[in-house]
Amino acid sequence: MLSSVQMAHFVATGSLRMDAVVPDEMNRQAIEVLDNGIPGVPYGTPLSEAFVDSEFVQRLVQLPEVAGAIHSLVGPEPTVDHHAVHIRKAHEGEAQNLHGDAIIDVRPDAFDVQLMYYPQDVTLEMGGTLSVPGSHLRRTNESDTGRYQNLLGQTRLVCPAGTVQFLHHGIWHGGRKNDSAIDRYMFKIRFNPTVRQVRLWNLEDLYDEDVARELSQSFPWYENATGRLEIYNRVKLWQAITGDDTFDPDYWVTRVSNRPQRVVSQRSVNPHAKKVIA
């Protein structure tokens, strides 16, 4: 299971990276498996029933670290939205536009998760997946962000073989061009939750001070004012997934949701009035 600090990192950044969690033996096997393709899975198939024709993928999602992260993020028995094998050919001269993987998604308390598996060492020359930390809660529509070329603070995934990355479905990302002499492989699965995503992880550190520290971080591409809305949005998401609507370290939510219900009697403010109005 993930810790609360790891979950807070995901809520703040929109991603969680787990380096080299897939064994070398599987990584060596993966290229041939991905070259041959992964059999299709109908939309909405429960994970336990999906990939019955791919022993490799079953092993991948059942690895303890991977299975624990899936459960922590989307709960037991999520369904498979879709999966895909992405191969960037050597010296491929085109990059993918920056995009999110959904139409405008207004869910305030639920999210889908994408697993991305990299069976090789990924170098900067090989391109890697670009993503923009903290972009996942800003409502955009698929490729509306495609006109942006570079954003301050964006990251390019450079990682060892066997790395698995989990992305919030709304994060802005795109595959970079491969300038190396080696084909680059990546396999992804998008999961849809089937339960409320409330307290699904290891809660031992729920009130650790690092949780608030993760949730309060900012990113260099944020605007000075509008960027504060990103912190507000992630606090609201944290309240939803913890079931604790009192969590608000810097009072971002409290200030704009304060609606006192206590009613007091009104009295005349005229000190010369003969009659007190109650």
pLDDT tens for 84-133 read 999 999 998 788 889 988 788 888 889 999 999 999 999 999 988 999 99
Q: Which two tokens stand for residue 133?
A: 């930390």
pLDDT-derived band at 170, boundaries 50, 70, 90: very high
pLDDT at 158 over 60: yes
Residue given tokens 């089937």 in the structure block: 194
pLDDT at 163: 98
pLDDT band at 143 (very low <50, low <70, confident <90, very high): confident
What confidence score (pLDDT) does residue 96 get?
85
Residue 25: per-residue pLDDT: 97
The full set of domain ranges for the chain reads: 1-278
CATH class of 1-278: mainly beta
Q: Which residues contact 231 (CB under 8 A, 6 or more apart)?
A: 215, 216, 218, 250, 252
Over residues 60-96, the pLDDT tens digits come to 999 999 999 999 999 999 999 999 999 999 998 788 8
Q: In the structure, what pLDDT confidence band is assigned to residue 267 with cuts at 50, 70 and 90?
A: low
More confident residue, 57 or 148: 57
Q: How many angstroms separate the CA atoms of 89 and 182, rounded?
A: 7
Mean pLDDT for 20-39 is 97
* pLDDT category of residue 270 using cuts at 50, 70 and 90: low
Can you say how many angstroms the Cα of residue 17 is from the centroid of all Cα atoms in its chain? 10
Residue 269 reports pLDDT greater than 80: no
C-alpha torsion 187→193→197→202, nearest 10: -50
